[in-house]
Structure 1
Amino acid sequence: MQNRKNAVIAGYVGNVIEWYDFALYGFMASILSQLFFPSDNEVASLLATYGVFAAGFVMRPLGSFVFGWLGDTIGRSKTMLLSVALMFLPTLFLGLLPSYAVIGIWAPILLVIIRLVQGLSVGGEFSSSVTYLVETADPDHRGRAGSWANQGAISGMLLGAGLAALVTTVFPKEVVLEWAWRIPFLLGGFLGGIAMYLRRKLPKSPEFKSYSDQAEPRSPLKLAFTRNGKQMAQAILFASAYGVFFYIPMVYLPNWLNEHASFGLDRAMQINSLALLVAAPLVYLSALIGDRYLLRTHWITLSFGLVALAAWPLFELMQAGSLVAATLGQVLFIAMLAIPLGSAPAIFVELFPPVDRLTGYSISYNLGVGVIGGATPMAATWLIQQTGNSLSVAGMLVVAGALGVLAMLWIDDSSREDICQPAGQKCPVQC
């Protein structure tokens, strides 16, 4: 019982720091674009900034290969310690990084390097912590256990959004551009040390321990792409739809409200913070429903269907210029998103057997969420520029919703089955 409690705390806090650090870049995009990519064309400057944001996500597949293999070979707990270190140290360096005006072209070059290292870390952190949380949970609590990683991610994004809003509200724009923008990044470096302390002595998960002591030779990477090829494809499709659904309301929307709905950046950040605050309890409620009342795939199908139907009307509502309408629109998006946020982590873990679980999960999840989801803010900015219609971004959510429904219809639900194996397969080791 104590080990499970420690696992939840360490998994939650680690994801708070991990996603605070990673999402902070997205929340501060309008500020960073002026500091590191100065240009007379504001759209071009913002596109360059989002390009670096996407570059971090491109590294996620590489991180998934590295951390997935490590997690299936040396253990989930050791992998979790390494991943959080590779996140908070670059964030600390970013808080100390001189701007383009001080060191010229080296500023964006170093910024790209920082984002690449962070992307490598994110490629292993989330899937490692989710796998550890679900494997150490009671069978009827797998959804709720896995949801703590997303609750940590939301809390981290909320903390990042709140501090970004605080900085842009309290300080004049000139002061923000001069030095105040560094405050949230430096704080992230400090908080990362706390996460490392909490994770330093986590025990092996029971399922990893059950097969790691066996003499049977294994290649997690080979197993993931041969025996579990179907599960890999299912997870990639699901993660791609999930990534678009996640990053538009969570990361891109504050800048959309600023650029296309006549809201100041400080007000847009405040709306985002309120929506994230609403999300945290809804995520746990979603996981509870998936554990007790509805099969997880059925529950998530409902969410994807709703967003496909509601995306365009909600963007029209938010563009009306009313603070109440904009807040309501984002809260409704977050309420729909809370369903997969609560239940998706357990689905990904349940798809794969333990011997190659972290490898299969990490690679498929990060190819979908990393490559597709990470490019979403840049793609949305480009789409609006090309169409001249600020509502065209809603079409991305319609497509994501449709693909998400297809993924859920394809996946065999394992919510009530032995976590040792995906549905219809025999586990190669004794769990």
Structure 2
Amino acid sequence: MPVSRKLRKVLFATGIGHFVEWFDFGLYGTLAAFIGLHFFQAEDPALALLSSFAVFGAGFVMRPLGGLWFGSLGDRIGRRKVLTTVIILTSGATFLIGLLPTYSQVGLLATVLLVLVRLIQGFAAGGESAGATTFLAEYAPAHRRGYFTCWIDNFGFLAFVAASGLVLLLTTVLGEAAMNEWGWRIPFLLAGPLGWIGLYLRTHLEDSPEFLALKRSNNTEAAPLYTAVTTERRALGFCIGFVVIKAVGHWMLQAFIPAYLTTELRFLTTQAYTITTFGLLAVAVMVPFMGYLSDRFGRRPLMLAGCVGFILLSWPAMGLMAQGDIVYALLAMLLLGICIAAFDGASCAAIAELFPTRIRFGSIAIAYNLAVAFFGGITPWFSTWLVIKSGNPLSPALFVMAAALITFLTVLRAKETAGLPLRRYVRHKKTRRGRPGK
């Protein structure tokens, strides 16, 4: 099979699987307002939403554990096998949410079951982004690695668009009363057939050429996580720093904003999902172009531009949303969307280029999921808490600006890696005699 055709097949199969994974995982954030009303006992919708976002964050707590488990497996037995496993777990758990009894039916048991299913989702998600990024980076040619790896985020945002668009469609067709009563279950139940599609595509792929080369030469790492922590601490630190604004930006746009528009700014449900659907679609469209630019001009300029954009535009964007006008709110989404698209266009390749092939999956899984668990997992909850405690609807912008500053300072210290070949082996430290250390 010609390389270009094979690469397109790999891109499509990996991307569709990633789409399914994040459609499943992101549905909870999209439907957080409905979940808050059905699984928690709270008279105030804002407090119910806060409880819902707390469980949303609980799923992220499991991501580092999933990253440890699946990352190690991915470096020892292969990327493809792990990616097929995580899609089974995530789709199955998401399907179960659509079948769970509510608080009014079984009381606290409903909340407990929701938390358990969300923990399974989080554990599985710990292997997805690291695996998909590793897989595509190891297939892509060096001079186009930014473009091909950024499609991971493109498919991820398209999944968010599909989730938001589906909720918008169902709310429009069924009405808010029916949607609140039983229609919210439909998107979760769709996870079953979608999961089978993603599973089929992934099982018909070969593993990455980089990993297969290591396997043929018997050079796979026996203890990849130990090796990563002992030899690649600097790279792990850079990866965590890169992911801070990536995590906050993603989950601010996908999970916090839809609920924020309805509960705090009093937009109609259909208006809120219209704003987020078109805003996220614009991000998805922009990401591949930004990936192309990162191959031409480097990873650092695009990532720095995204961070600066968040620092300068987050407060004005939240101010536009607070005007209560749908056009202004959509413009605000686009302003924030340009920032995350610029960053995402370069970040996947930059992260993959930090680590050698022998430990790439596990290293990304550790660092990526630690950053996402803390910064991404708390984003909806902490943003909602800031609004409640401060009484200022613009206060979540301060959190985004702080996250962008952390990543900005990290990128400033990083080296440019665009166009360089991927590292395959670990660079061990040398002793005083110049020999490799043990």
Please report the TM-score for the alignment, with normalisation by the length of structure 2: 0.94
SS in structure 1 of the partner of residue 43 of structure 2: coil
Q: Which of 411, 414, 417 is the equivalent residue of 2:417?
A: 414
Is the Cα contact below 8 Å between 2:45 and 2:263 reproduced in 1? no
Is the Cα contact below 8 Å between 2:303 and 2:344 reproduced in 1? no
Letter paired with 1:187: L
- Counting aligned pairs with the same residue, the percent is 34
Q: Which residue is equivalent to 1:111?
A: 114
Letter paired with 1:183: I
Q: Which residue is equivalent to 2:274?
A: 270
How big is the shift at 1:47?
A: 1.1
Is the Cα contact below 8 Å between 2:145 and 2:349 reproduced in 1? yes
SS in structure 1 of the partner of residue 353 of structure 2: helix
Q: Which of 389, 394, 404 is the equivalent residue of 1:391?
A: 394
Instruction: Work out the CA distance in 1 between the residues paired with 2:194 and 2:333.
Output: 28
Letter paired with 1:267: Q
Instruction: Work out the CA distance in 2 between the residues paired with 1:179 and 1:42.
Output: 18
Deviations 1:69-102 (A, max 9, x none): 0110000011110011111011111111111122
Letter paired with 1:317: L
Q: Which of 93, 98, 107 is the equivalent residue of 1:95?
A: 98
Q: Which residue is equivalent to 2:357?
A: 354
Q: Does 1:286 align with 2:290?
A: yes
Q: Does 1:223 align with 2:227?
A: yes
Q: Does 1:405 align with 2:408?
A: yes
Instruction: Work out the CA distance in 1 between the residues paired with 2:249 and 2:181.
Output: 34
Q: Which of 42, 46, 50 is the equivalent residue of 2:49?
A: 46
How big is the shift at 1:307?
A: 1.0
Instruction: Work out the CA distance in 1 between the residues paired with 2:256 and 2:273.
Output: 11
SS in structure 2 of the partner of residue 321 of structure 1: coil
How big is the shift at 1:422?
A: 9.6
Listed as ranges, the gaps of 5+ residues in structure 1 are 427-431
Q: Which residue is equivalent to 1:166?
A: 169
Is the Cα contact below 8 Å between 2:358 and 2:424 reproduced in 1? no
Is the Cα contact below 8 Å between 1:412 and 1:423 reproduced in 2? no
Is the Cα contact below 8 Å between 1:64 and 1:366 reproduced in 2? yes
Q: Which residue is equivalent to 2:27?
A: 24
Distance 1:267 1:425, change over 3 A: farther
Q: Which residue is equivalent to 2:187?
A: 184
Letter paired with 1:255: A
Deviations 1:254-284 (A, max 9, x none): 1111123231122111100001111122100
| Mean CA deviation greater in 339-348 or 208-217 | 208-217
Instruction: Work out the CA distance in 1 between the residues paired with 2:276 and 2:166.
Output: 12
Q: Which of 233, 240, 252 is the equivalent residue of 2:237?
A: 233
Is the Cα contact below 8 Å between 2:158 and 2:284 reproduced in 1? yes
Deviations 1:293-324 (A, max 9, x none): x1101211011011101111111111111111
SS in structure 2 of the partner of residue 412 of structure 1: coil
How big is the shift at 1:173?
A: 2.8
Is the Cα contact below 8 Å between 2:356 and 2:426 reproduced in 1? no
Instruction: Work out the CA distance in 2 between the residues paired with 1:330 and 1:190.
Output: 31
Q: Which of 362, 366, 378 is the equivalent residue of 1:363?
A: 366
Instruction: Work out the CA distance in 2 between the residues paired with 1:366 and 1:422.
Output: 23
Is the Cα contact below 8 Å between 2:98 and 2:186 reproduced in 1? yes
Alignment of 1:315-326 (within 5 A): 315-326=318-329
Is the Cα contact below 8 Å between 2:276 and 2:333 reproduced in 1? yes
Alignment of 1:372-391 (within 5 A): 372-391=375-394
Instruction: Work out the CA distance in 1 between the residues paired with 2:180 and 2:313.
Output: 37
Deviations 1:166-222 (A, max 9, x none): 222222333122211111111122111100011112112111112223345631111
SS in structure 2 of the partner of residue 39 of structure 1: coil
Q: Which of 139, 153, 157 is the equivalent residue of 1:154?
A: 157
Q: Which residue is equivalent to 1:304?
A: 307
Instruction: Work out the CA distance in 1 between the residues paired with 2:367 and 2:285.
Output: 27
How big is the shift at 1:249?
A: 2.1
Instruction: Work out the CA distance in 2 between the residues paired with 1:263 and 1:87.
Output: 31
Instruction: Work out the CA distance in 1 between the residues paired with 2:63 and 2:256.
Output: 19
How big is the shift at 1:145?
A: 1.4
Is the Cα contact below 8 Å between 1:414 and 1:423 reproduced in 2? no
Deviations 1:327-372 (A, max 9, x none): 1111111111101222111111000000100111111001112221
How big is the shift at 1:113?
A: 0.9
Is the Cα contact below 8 Å between 2:302 and 2:345 reproduced in 1? no
Q: Which residue is equivalent to 1:429?
A: none
Deviations 1:150-174 (A, max 9, x none): 1111111111000111222222333
Q: Which of 99, 116, 141 is the equivalent residue of 1:138?
A: 141
Q: Does 1:193 align with 2:196?
A: yes
Deviations 1:119-152 (A, max 9, x none): 1111101110111011011111111111121111
Please report the TM-score for the alignment, with normalisation by the length of structure 1: 0.95
Instruction: Work out the CA distance in 2 between the residues paired with 1:378 and 1:318.
Output: 19
| Mean CA deviation greater in 164-173 or 394-403 | 164-173
SS in structure 1 of the partner of residue 62 of structure 2: helix
Distance 1:421 1:211, change over 3 A: closer
Q: Does 1:83 align with 2:86?
A: yes
Instruction: Work out the CA distance in 1 between the residues paired with 2:84 and 2:425.
Output: 28
Moved over 4 A (4+): 421-426
Is the Cα contact below 8 Å between 2:242 and 2:347 reproduced in 1? no
How big is the shift at 1:27?
A: 0.8
Letter paired with 2:224: P
